[in-house]
Each structure stands twice: as structure tokens, then as C-alpha cells.
Amino acid sequence: MALVTMKPVRVCLGPPAGRTGLMALVTTKPVRVCLRPPAVRTGLMALVTTIAMLVPAAVRAAPAPVATIEIEGVISPVTLRLVGLAIDRAQAERAQALVILLDTPGGLERSMRAIVQRMLNAEVPVVVFVAPTGARAASAGVFITMAGHVAAMAPATNIGAASPVSIGGGNDKTMMKKVENDAAAFIRTVAIERGRNADWAEKAVRQAVAVTEREALKLNVIDLIADSLPDLLGKIDGRTIKLPKGTVTLATKGAPVRPIEIGFRDRFLNVITDPNVAYVLMMLGMLGLFFELSNPGVILPGIIGGISLILAFFAFQSLPINYAGLLLILFGIVLLVAEIKIVSHGVLAIGGMISMALGSLMLFDSPEVGFRVSWWVIAPTVGATAGLFLFVVAAGVRALGRPTATGAEGLVGKTATVRERLAPEGQVMVSGEIWRAVAQGEPLEPGAQVRIVSVDGLTLKVAKAEVKGGRT
């Protein structure tokens, strides 16, 4: 110990720095100390070194949080907004990683490419976790999973079938080949960048192959299998991730998890991009506009119909619409409207129902179940629409069969009361109105009941009314 001596020595105080250092020393016995500036500097350096060794330990005791977001359903412009928002928020909150819990049947190629681009350039590690159990990463989901810095899957999940699908079914073989080659090259470069199986990735595009989570792990398509989010964080702890600004080492074991909440606006937009919801909105919009045009001035059906159609068109931009199916639905609506105007004994109504049902089946042109309208939605919607039109038709037919209730024709057959003696002319009262009347047959006294036989201008021709029992 160069600074403290156990024997009495002569005190030699040097410069002011020496006196300051002397006051900071603690001794167990009265001693005489000789301080020199170099000794003071040595003591301070030792103290700083000790503090520097303690700081990392304190930092390790409180790991940075891990941000999470759930992406479920069709990949659309709304999904792109959500992923971009999650990456930005994770970076702003200094999260050590962002975990995307993915479950998708695929989606729009343009949105998928933008998402992959954001992930490749993210300044925070992005972990794609295909979860929960039973989830899938199909079509566009394969590209997103491949682009993650870490790719993981839960048990009983699958990945694959990334062949591009033409929206509207209008591309010829040459165009589809170009699209396929472009997608294959894109997924290969993403897989190579992340150190994964590029050959299998290309097969997923060209041959639409799909594998389970265990097969994906063996083929180096993913990095690991995890039972849950805590299990995932424990398994990726200590991994070194390459980012655009350098490498980072994850310390996710026991790290706090902060879910990124999705706002009402994004939740609502995500819901309406579901094919079933978009289909119902389109049908509701058509019905609303039809009733508004049929009954101008009602206003409410037109407002609901206009809003529904606009929302449906927003959803259609991210769905593989088949325009032949859309035209069949429109044609079915026209046939149902024609049934109201033309008496066809139900032929037009049946044709309209068949046209709407076929159009509903063809509306979304995609082999994937997630992009098709469910029969549980088609049957009630077509049935309710046809039933509504048939109800209107039946109500119109019943109205035509009823006797005329207004005008001159509506007076024929009614019973009137004689107000002024009919001999044969006089006055009668009908529904609180006084009419000039001419009696057929014998004269009738005031108070007698008569039946209106016909109307001649403003004169009623009446006859003696018969009541039960043969008395008048």
C-alpha cells in the first residue's frame, strides 16, 4: 500500500492537490503520511476502474425491452403501415428487438415487397415468429419470414406455397413467367442475405412447395422452433445480429415484453380487407344505392350504400378480384330489378339468384382459401338479397290485386247514408262528404242506407242497400 504507512513518518505536504488527497484518506490509527501527486493519481485511477467494472453489471441486470406486434390475415397496405409503425416505434423506444407474430395466407405483392424492404433496412433486429400453433406463413408470408433477422415457428405450423397469383386473371403465360422469375430472384437474394436455404425458397415460388416447422428447421428455412414467446426469447438470447450500422448481441432472456398496440383506425381498416367483409360491404352498397334510386329522397339507404361501396373498393385493391365474377353479381342485381318491373312469373328472379351465386364464387380469383368468400357468407347474403327483392315483388302483386281505394273507382261499392230525400235525385253522405246522388228504383227517405253503383262525374248512382235478414 503506497498511500498508507503503519509507522510514524514525517508529514510532507506538497501542492494543494496533495492536501486535498490527504483529507480523502481514511486510516485506522494516527499516522504521519507523506503524499506525492503521483500517488494521488494512482488512487483515483483505481477508484474509476472499480466503478467502470460495476456499471456493466448493473446494465446487464436490467435488459432492454422487446417489442411485439401481431400480424394476422391478408398482407395489404394496412399491414405495411402496421409493420412500418412497429419498426419505427421499436427504434424510438430503444427496444433491443421487434418480434412479429405472423399468421397469414398471403397478400398483395406490392405490400409484401415494401415490408421486406423495411425489414432489410431496419436498425433494430426483427424476429419473425410464425405463431400461434396452427398458424401459417403462406405466399407473401414466406418472403416476410425469410427477411427476418431471426426466423422461428411454433409447433404445428407450416410455411411455403409462394407462387405469385395474377390479380384479375388477365395475364398471359409470358407475363406470368416474368412475374414468377422476378419473385424467384427476389426471394433468393433475401434468403442468401439472411443465410438461409435459397434453393428451397426458389422452389416455394416456382413449384409452390410447403413444409412443416420441423422440415423447415432441417432444410435451414428457419432458425429454430419455439413453443411460446418466452421460449423464443430464451432461445435467441446471446445471438449476434448483423444490422446496417453494425452487429448487436441479443440479451432477451427475461427481458420485458412490450406489445405495440394497434389503433382503432388500423384495426378497422384491417378488418374490412377480409374477403368476406369486403363482399358483404359490396352487396350492402349495391342494395343501398338501388333503394335510393328507386325511392328518391329516402337518403339513408343512399348514404349507407355509398359508404359501403367506397370501403369495399378500398378492400378490393389488396384482393385478387375476378372481374367476371363482379359482372355476374351486377347482372344478377339487374335481373332482380327487372323482375319488379316485368312480370316473368319468377324466371328473372331465379336467374338473378343463380347469377349472384356464381359471381360470388368467382369474385376472388385465388387458389388459397384465405382469399375466397366462405359459403357461410355467400348463402345468407344471396338468400337475403333475393328474399328482399322477392318480398318487394310480392308486395307489389298484392297491391295490384286490391280494390282501388282512392278516386272515383274507390267509391264504387261503398255504403252511403241518404241526407236529402232521393226522388230520384237528392243528397247522400259518404265518408263525411256530401255528394249529389240519383236513386235507382223507388224513392228513398233520409237516413236510409244505399250502395253506390257507379260514379258519373260528380253524381253518384245509388241503389237501396240490402242488409242481413233482408231488411234495409
Give the residue numbers marked as catalytic. 139, 178
Omega prior to 424 cis, within 30 of 0:
yes
Report the C-alpha gap between 107 and 82 in whole angstroms. Answer: 14
SS (HEC) of the chain: CCCCCCCCCCCECCCHHHHHHHHHCCCCCCCCCECCHHHHHHHHHHHHHHHHHHHHHHHHHCCCCEEEEEEECCECHHHHHHHHHHHHHHHHCCCCEEEEEEEECCECHHHHHHHHHHHHCCCCCEEEEECCCCCEEECHHHHHHHHCCEEEECCCCEEECCCCCCCCCCCCHHHHHHHHHHHHHHHHHHHHHCCCCHHHHHHHHHCCCEEEHHHHHHCCCCCEECCCHHHHHHHCCCCEEEECCEEEECCCCCCCEEECCCCHHHHHHHHHCCHHHHHHHHHHHHHHHHHHHHCCCCCHHHHHHHHHHHHHHHHHCCCCECHHHHHHHHHHHHHHHHHHHCCCCCHHHHHHHHHHHHHHHHCECCCCHHHCCCHHHHHHHHHHHHHHHHHHHHHHHHHHHCCCCCCCCCCCCCEEEEEECECCEEEEEECCEEEEEEECCCCECCCCEEEEEEEECCEEEEEECCCHHHCC
Q: What cell does 460 get?
A: 253518384
SS (HEC) of 110-143: HHHHHHHHHHHCCCCCEEEEECCCCCEEECHHHH
Report the C-alpha gap between 374 and 384 in whole angstroms. Answer: 16
Report the C-alpha gap between 365 and 169 in whole angstroms. Answer: 7
Report the C-alpha gap between 144 and 119 in whole angstroms. Answer: 8
Provide φ and ψ at 273, rounded to 5°: -80, 0
Parallel, antiparallel or unpaired: strands 246-249 and 210-212: unpaired
Per the listing, cell 395475364 goes with 171
Per the listing, cell 240519383 goes with 438
